[in-house]
């Protein structure tokens, strides 16, 4: 376990100790950020974006995978609908199963090792998928590749968030979460244009598109490997991190949980809120394309609606974080409940058919998803960093892993056991999908109630001000 300087090493409030070299006074160069912080705000999301650009290649190409009985010539792999649904949903299972183990890995290994390991895993998964991208395949190897890719992605998610937030002060972390989302958003924007350009609406080009995706992530492995030879991704606050072992991390986190009941109460409410606002955001990707692209047919092509809101969300998050930075917080103007309200409003506009009878439905659909994106972004940038803020830094990756598990798990459970399989009709109607919109609105209402309870009850009656965040028992033993 770390030596007597442990508390100082993991101090977060002093920029001199955590943001720059020990003997160098940090200089803010833009909006309160130092040059090194700005570099990490660009570099870490860029690493994650490189993986996303390859790993998410299948999203705009789904019609080429799934069996199309009406137009069989439009599909290449011709995977049966039920099997393809399994291929898509299996991706969340390793994210749920390995979220907490990934936290332990990130807590013990350097960010460079974690980033490179995650990219190698994703590259292997994509080459497995490429080997199985052929006509009439049973897609078993493809399914295994999706499992491997999900495992790699959960490691990348955890190390990206834990490392980036450790580079920033508490007030700067909403911007860090937004920057993380920007990397993913730009990659999602690029995915559609890149792979649709490769396919050229020719199903036989699917193996080529898969090979390009695998090559991108493979190239990213060597790029990041070379980069880490010249750039140290570890925050100065991680200088004692390598001294922790796996068993010490396990026992230390358990001890910290037992000795910090108020922090745990805050964390539990934060995790439950994450579950509530992640459900309507990520549970219905295929259904979202049907609702926004087919039922509410508009001038935007249907294939862009599955990832369109997610692609825009990063830019919206960054704009909100920079606009509100230093002037607002989670508990001053209640931005989390406001976000839940806007997210629910977005689905309510569709449920009550706002603009459905207009000659041009595009403005109504765009307004609905603008509310959805703004609402989700407000909760994403102001709620998610609380998990990091409420946990003693050596154990923060573990709490982040639990948070990711909660968000991904809630989406998977909702999709699997509540939504089930979407209606398979040639001409879908609004009534067939109203139940999904109702469930999304209920989830937003739960998020609103949880965040209001947190602000007015938990933070007021169970404040953490008198409960130091440090692992007090460990520090006392260290001093002895």
**Digit-coded pLDDT (tens) for 349-365:** 999 999 999 989 999 99
CA distance 404 to 399: 9
pLDDT on residue 330: 47
* SS3 call for 465: coil
| pLDDT band for position 286 (cuts 50, 70, 90) | low
Q: Please write the tens of the pLDDT for every residue from 171-204.
A: 889 999 999 999 988 888 888 789 989 998 899 9
Q: Please write the tens of the pLDDT for every residue from 215-227.
A: 999 999 999 999 9
pLDDT on residue 429: 84
In a domain, 279, yes or no: yes
Instruction: Name residue, tokens 């999900």.
Output: 150
Q: Please write the tens of the pLDDT for every residue from 440-457.
A: 999 999 999 999 999 889
* SS3 call for 440: helix
CB 326 within 8 A of CB 171: yes
pLDDT on residue 27: 74
pLDDT on residue 473: 57
pLDDT on residue 30: 78
In a domain, 168, yes or no: yes
Q: Among 69-78, 175-184, 318-327, whose mean pLDDT is lowest?
A: 318-327
pLDDT on residue 70: 79
Instruction: Give mean pLDDT, residues 48-62.
Output: 89
pLDDT on residue 425: 66
pLDDT on residue 10: 31
* SS3 call for 79: strand
pLDDT on residue 85: 78
In a domain, 1, yes or no: no
CB 454 within 8 A of CB 276: no
Is a pLDDT exceeding 70 seen at residue 20? no
Taking each helix axis from N to C terminus, what angle separates 99-108 and 396-413, rounded to the nearest 10 degrees? 160
pLDDT on residue 191: 87
Is a pLDDT exceeding 50 seen at residue 68? yes
Task: Kindly state the tokens that stand for 355.
Answer: 């603009």
Instruction: Name residue, tokens 């009656």.
Output: 461
What CATH number is associated with residue 77? Answer: 1.20.1250.20
* SS3 call for 22: coil
Q: Among 264-278, 309-323, 336-350, 358-372, whose mean pLDDT is lowest?
A: 309-323
Look at the chain and count its residues.
Answer: 480
Q: What is the percent of the chain with per-residue pLDDT over 90, rounded to a whole number?
A: 53
Q: Please write the tens of the pLDDT for every residue from 78-122.
A: 888 778 878 877 888 998 999 999 998 998 888 999 999 999 999
Quote the mean pLDDT of the chain: 85
pLDDT on residue 6: 35
In a domain, 395, yes or no: yes
In a domain, 33, yes or no: yes
CB 242 within 8 A of CB 105: no
Instruction: Give mean pLDDT, residues 145-159.
Output: 95
- Report which of residues 179 and 66 the model is more confident about: 179
Q: Among 112-121, 278-287, 328-337, 347-356, whose mean pLDDT is lowest?
A: 328-337
Is a pLDDT exceeding 50 seen at residue 22? no
Q: What is the percent of the chain with per-residue pLDDT over 70, rounded to a whole number?
A: 86
| pLDDT band for position 472 (cuts 50, 70, 90) | low
| pLDDT band for position 291 (cuts 50, 70, 90) | confident
Task: Kindly state the tokens that stand for 134.
Answer: 């052929």
In a domain, 412, yes or no: yes
pLDDT on residue 32: 81
Q: Which domain holds residue 275?
A: 6-479
CA distance 42 to 222: 18
| pLDDT band for position 274 (cuts 50, 70, 90) | very high
| pLDDT band for position 426 (cuts 50, 70, 90) | low
In a domain, 157, yes or no: yes
In a domain, 35, yes or no: yes
What is the count of structural domains for the chain? 1
pLDDT on residue 297: 84
| pLDDT band for position 438 (cuts 50, 70, 90) | very high
Q: Please write the tens of the pLDDT for every residue from 208-256.
A: 999 999 999 999 999 999 999 999 998 887 764 545 667 788 888 999 9
């Amino acid at each position: 376990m770390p030596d007597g300087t442990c508390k100082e090493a993991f101090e977060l409030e002093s920029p001199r100790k955590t943001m720059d070299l020990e003997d160098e006074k940090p200089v803010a160069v833009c909006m309160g950020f130092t040059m090194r912080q700005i570099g990490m705000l660009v570099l870490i999301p860029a690493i994650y974006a490189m993986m996303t650009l390859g790993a998410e290649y299948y999203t705009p190409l789904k019609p080429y995978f799934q069996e199309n009985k009406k137009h069989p010539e439009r599909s290449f792999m011709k995977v049966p609908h039920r099997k393809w649904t399994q291929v898509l949903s299996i991706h969340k299972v390793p994210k749920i199963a390995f979220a907490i183990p990934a936290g332990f890995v990130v807590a013990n290994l350097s960010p460079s090792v974690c980033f490179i390991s995650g990219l190698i895993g994703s590259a292997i998964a994509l080459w497995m998928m490429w080997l199985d991208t052929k006509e009439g395949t049973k897609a078993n190897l493809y399914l295994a590749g999706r499992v491997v890719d999900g495992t790699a992605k959960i490691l990348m998610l955890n190390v990206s968030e834990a490392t980036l937030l450790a580079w920033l002060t508490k007030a700067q972390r909403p911007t860090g979460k937004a920057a993380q989302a920007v990397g993913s958003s730009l990659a999602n924007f690029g995915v559609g244009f890149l792979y649709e350009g490769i396919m050229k609406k020719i199903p036989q080009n699917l193996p080529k598109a898969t090979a390009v995706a695998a090559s991108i992530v493979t190239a990213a492995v060597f790029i990041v490997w070379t980069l880490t030879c010249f750039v140290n991704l570890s925050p100065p606050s991680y200088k004692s991190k390598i001294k922790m072992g796996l068993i010490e991390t396990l026992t230390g986190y358990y001890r910290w949980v037992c000795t910090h009941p108020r922090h745990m109460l805050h964390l539990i409410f934060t995790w439950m809120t994450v579950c509530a606002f992640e459900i309507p955001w990520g549970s219905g990707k295929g259904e979202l394309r049907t609702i926004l692209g087919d039922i509410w047919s508009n001038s935007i092509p249907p294939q862009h609606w599955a990832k369109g809101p997610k692609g825009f969300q990063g830019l919206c998050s960054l704009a909100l974080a920079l606009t509100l930075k230093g002037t607002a917080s989670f508990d001053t103007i209640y931005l989390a409940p406001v976000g839940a309200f806007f997210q629910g409003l977005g689905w309510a506009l569709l449920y009550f058919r706002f603009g459905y009878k207009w000659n041009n439905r595009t403005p109504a659909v765009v307004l609905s998803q603008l509310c959805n994106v703004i609402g989700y972004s407000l909760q994403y940038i102001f709620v998610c960093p609380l998990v990091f803020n409420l946990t003693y830094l050596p154990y923060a990756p573990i709490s982040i892993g639990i948070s990711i598990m909660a968000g991904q798990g809630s989406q998977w459970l909702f999709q699997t056991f509540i939504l089930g399989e979407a209606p398979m009709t040639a001409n879908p109607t609004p009534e067939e999908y109203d139940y999904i919109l109702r469930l999304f609105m209920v989830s937003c209402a739960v998020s609103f109630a949880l965040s209001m309870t947190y602000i007015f009850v938990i933070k007021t009656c169970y404040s953490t001000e008198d409960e130091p965040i440090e692992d007090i028992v460990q520090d006392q033993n260290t001093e002895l």
